[in-house]
Amino acid sequence: DGGITQSPKYLFRKEGQNVTLSCEQNLNHDAMYWYRQDPGQGLRLIYYSQIVNDFQKGDIAEGYSVSREKKESFPLTVTSAQKNPTAFYLCASSIDLALASAREQFFGPGTRLTVL
């Protein structure tokens, strides 16, 4: 059963702590993305990666970091530098950014992060 998994579904952390959100896909997609979803603001791009060992900043990368050591995995770390980290985080993937017709994104179930 192919898809994108994100864990955990709910995450709580204390202010000042770093936390890592997991994203795994078994779709054999080259590109992966992280978005943040806030009420009334839609989805905002944090980071994306076209290939292994390469990633690019999105619109709101400050306070976040990523790695792409394996094609199927794209973990996101929310650092203590992120001023307003409480949000719903969505991971997505697409087949290939080089092909216009392959840019449809498939989404995971999301992780709701709450900073206490």
Partner 1 sequence: AQSVSQHNHHVILSEAASLELGCNYSYGGTVNLFWYVQYPGQHLQLLLKYFSGDPLVKGIKGFEAEFIKSKFSFNLRKPSVQWSDTAEYFCAVNALTNNDMRFGAGTRLTVKP
Q: What is the largest CA-CA distance in the chain?
A: 42
97 interacts with partner 1 by CB under 8 A: yes
Q: Which helix (H) or strand (E) holds 5?
A: strand 4-7
Judged by CB under 8 A, the stretch of 17-25, 60-68, 76-84, 98-106 that binds partner 1 is 98-106
CA distances from 68 to 51, 71, 75, 100, 101 (A): 8, 7, 7, 22, 24
Tell me whether residue 11 or residue 43 sits nearer to partner 1 (CB atom): 43
- Using DSSP, state whether 69 is helix, strand or coil: coil
5 interacts with partner 1 by CB under 8 A: no
Tell me whether residue 52 or residue 80 sits nearer to partner 1 (CB atom): 52
CA distance 93 to 78: 20
Query: Binders of partner 1 among 7-46, rule CB under 8 A?
Result: 31, 33, 35, 40-45
What residue ranges bind partner 1 (CB under 8 A)?
Answer: 31, 33, 35, 40-45, 48, 50, 56, 58, 90, 92, 97, 100-101, 103-110
